[in-house]
Homo-oligomer: A and B are copies of this chain.
Amino acid sequence: MSHDCTFLTDLLSDDQVAFTDATRESHASDWGSRESGHATVPDAVVFPESTADVAAVLAGAHDREIPVTPYAAGTSMEGNAVPAFAGISLDLTRMDAIHDVRPADFQIDVGPGVLGSAVEERVAEEGLFFPPLPSSGDLSTIGGMIANDASGMQTVKYGEVGDWVLELEAVTAEGEVFTAGSKAKKTSAGYNLADLLVGSEGTLAVVTRATLELAGRPEQIRGGRAVFPSLDAATDAVADAVQSGVDVAKIELVDETAGAMANAYQGLDLPDSAMLFVEFHANHGIEAEIDFCRSLFESHGVERFDIASDEEMDTLWEAREELAFAVSSYDPDLSPVHPGDITVPISKLGEIIRYAKQRGREEDLLVPCFGHAGDGNVHYSVLANPSDPEMRAAAEAVYSDVVKRAIEMGGTATGEHGVGLGKREYLEREHGAVAVELMRQVKRAFDPADILNPGKIFPETSEEGGRVAFDLATDD
């Protein structure tokens, strides 16, 4: 379906509207959809430079019932920022201003297009940091993180992006500007619209400005790596550390398969064993915390637990951040079917990983597992040859079985990537029909014409005008 978007040239200056194939195609995929080779090309790309620009585009698109899909860095994993029905790609990367920093209140006001790393650099000058930054934070934008309620390695200690969003300026589908939340640290004044916008993937409103909360940079930061005799020992150690209240700021699992792929990708010599990468933050007494963690790891038979120098840790964290690429690049014939992102209650961590590995063995498929284990969040990839339909079907089955088992355990299909296109089929299984219908009612309340990122989150869209969504999950 293509839409007449020529009206955009009346609203914005020439360099803010693009109809060229190159620009449109560069907005037709994200990290996730690139992997599966899918793309939906928007009819036009616009580059708003202000809230007023966003409001004008939305009002115009709303009048014409043209879909608008917010886009920024394109680092999403589930097609979240890929247009499902063409229309307008709203590229927010020019709205990358840092409007204000208020160190005395631990607050920063930013545009949605600002990179996570730009926030980090600016607030580091004040001795502050933005704790929930995802691993992709150097490349991804604050707007995208808010849209997916992203989180990262430090979430185990500090929480998700949503926990650090105080106030949002946003524009409705009809082009009206509003503010949600408060610059106060807590409020009970009316419905929590800010947390409703967080994680709504641009389907309810377009965020044009965010007030984020910051934290004081800890005086002491130490990192280390623990090597375990088995994957079970490593997952048991994670659960025990969390349950015993070890104050870790990061506790990341890398299984032996993922470790081997990191070695191949980055020329490292990680041991052929399950590992935990950990980091501790404290203002004093960090040695006592490390000792506590060490004795606990020892009770799980840890083979080595080395506290590393800053340079050594930089290498390890870089290896961890690059793991998704290491997995994708491991064998040119193999690609992961969808990015796994399940999260389970911490007591189920070992069980869900054992299940994923076992299903992989049953189908003779590689299933590297890694991720934010302290949150119960596991990134698993099921590798298959895309041109081998049987292998791919087996991989899809393994991938899907793990999601379903995680949901049965009281967990979630997606801990931090969002639903986008790729996880829609699991929404009702996870939340039930009544809750999903309430979500649809909320969508209709905000966007009755269904112009904001239509085709995302909800299982099917036939009710919304009979448009058929491009479907990452079932399309070949």
Contact = CB atoms under 8 A, between A and B. Distances in A.
B285 A190 contact: no
A345 B172 contact: no
A75 interface: no
Given A244-B216, A284-B285, A445-B445, A375 B186 contact: yes
A196 B438 CA distance: 11
Interface stretch (A17-25, A46-54, A406-414): A406-414
B446 A189 contact: no
Given A186-B160, A285-B284, A417-B188, A193 B343 contact: no
A418 interface: yes
Interface stretch (A258-266, A297-305, A384-392, A419-427): A419-427
Nearest to A177: B434
B412 A187 contact: yes
* A-B pairs with lowest CB-CB distance, top 4: A285-B285, A183-B410, A178-B434, A187-B412
Interface centre among A104, A243, A418, A423, by most B CB within 10 Å?
A104
Interface stretch (A116-124, A147-155, A226-234): A147-155
A346 interface: yes
A172 B434 contact: yes
Contact of A438 (B149, B193, B243, B434): B193
14 contacts: A107-B345, A176-B434, A178-B432, A179-B431, A179-B435, A180-B435, A184-B344, A189-B418, A191-B439, A195-B196, A216-B243, A216-B245, A283-B292, A441-B445
A457 interface: yes
B343 A187 contact: yes
A200 interface: yes
A192 interface: yes
Given A105-B345, A107-B345, 15 more contacts: A105-B346, A149-B192, A150-B188, A151-B186, A178-B432, A180-B431, A182-B343, A184-B411, A187-B415, A189-B413, A189-B423, A189-B430, A191-B442, A283-B289, A285-B288
A347 interface: yes
Nearest to A377: B186
Contact of A345 (B102, B417, B439): B102
Interface in A175-233: 176-180, 182-193, 195-196, 198-200, 204, 216
